[in-house]
Amino acid sequence: MKLLNEVEPEVVVTVKKVEGGSETKGHLSELGISEGTELTVVATEPVHVHAGPIALKTAAGTEAVVARGWADKVYVEKGGETLPLLRLEAGEKGTVKTLEGGKTFEDNFAELGIEKGIEVEFLRHLPDDTLTFKIDDSEVSMGEGQASKVLVERDGKNIQINYLAEGEKAKISKIIGGTSLKDKFEQLGMVEGKEITLVKKETPAPRPKMGTYVLAKIGEQLVTIGRGLAEKVQVE
């Protein structure tokens, strides 16, 4: 047996085993993939030459930055086809169909105004800028993708910390992420209620990174399977 993402194009295979929990199996089932399913791999292609986070416009008209690892968990419907969010190009719109990762991730995306059934517009790919912040008398630096998981209060509204202007100060209102992320931020002094200032933003030299997806045919239906899901499917 081999993993679905290792199958060469134009090869017909049968799904023998789907690894992962009920969430993973549920996402694959929505795509028509379960144990016993016969499919033909049409292509394994790059999603986009891309390393950093992305910017989206939500249904409410606000802009949100989504870290690359999170964006890889979003599937949208566009023109009757379900495909990874990262296959969209600037200016294209899609309706959120699936959010991988369970309820925690759904709650995190909801904080950014991104939920199932909501239309989003893909604005642009972003370089993973390095942001330097000042908390008390200490300075901390991190990539924009990681910083996007910190919300601060400005003018009575929550915004992502990367939307602060250089020299602007605000109060941390929420950390969106799991316990490990919150623990990591706490060690840096980034906790809810703390005052934080964006000192500077620096753009690093580009470091292209290639993501991939599998395009498969089940009967007459073409489906797109992200790398993370394809790695959970064993075929023969």
The pLDDT tens digits for 164-204 are 999 999 999 999 988 888 899 999 999 999 999 999 999 76
Largest Cα span, the chain = 62
Query: Which residues, including other chains, have CB under 8 Å from residue 18's CB and lie 6 or more apart?
Result: 24, 25, 28, 33, 34, 35, 232, 233, 234
Per-residue model confidence as pLDDT tens digits over 45-56: 665 555 578 999
Domain edges within the chain: 1-127+207-228, 130-202
pLDDT of amino acid 174: 94
CB 161 within 8 A of CB 188: no
Q: 128 falls in which pLDDT band (50, 70, 90)? A: confident
Higher pLDDT, 56 or 5: 56
Tokens representing residue 181 in the block = 């992320």
Mean pLDDT of the chain: 87
Is residue 5 within 8 A of residue 227, CB to CB? The reply is: yes
Would you say the pTM of this structure is higher than 0.85? Answer: no
